[in-house]
Amino acid sequence: LAKTTQPISMDSYEGQEVNITCSHNNIATNDYITWYQQFPSQGPRFIIQGYKTKVTNEVASLFIPADRKSSTLSLPRVSLSDTAVYYCLVGDRGMDSNYQLIWGAGTKLIIKP
């Protein structure tokens, strides 16, 4: 069963760039890597998704090396409102072909003034 591993927590300061790395050694060949953000008492919110190399949108960048066994979410110039839990998501098709979505434990990011 594919599994993701992320740091439990990180902290940084306003205006800094933050990089959160997720390892997913058993990612399926055709699966995407997706990152979500979650604030307390709210559902997760999609941030970014990629398959390989680099993807950038208006809020973040996602770096994926050639072996795809890890990915790094990069948040440029963070603000206090970026304090949240960030989840890395990959899928997995087990030996019985039962496909499941596997979420990491999440990284609690705290931004300080």
Partner 1 sequence: DTGVSQDPRHKITKRGQNVTFRCDPISEHNRLYWYRQTLGQGPEFLTYFQNEAQLEKSRLLSDRFSAERPKGSFSTLEIQRTEQGDSAMYLCASSPQLTGEPKHEAFFGQGTRLTVV
- Residues near partner 1 (CB under 8 A): 28, 30-32, 34, 41-46, 49, 87, 89, 91, 94, 96, 98-106
- Please state the closest distance from residue 39 (CB atom) to partner 1, in A: 11
Pairing of strands 70-75, 61-64: antiparallel
Q: Beta partners for 61?
A: 56, 74
Q: Name the minimum Å distance from CB 113 to partner 1.
A: 25
CA distance 21 to 76: 15
Given the complex with partner 1, which of 101 and 110 has the nearer CB atom?
101
Q: Which two tokens stand for residue 57?
A: 């949108």
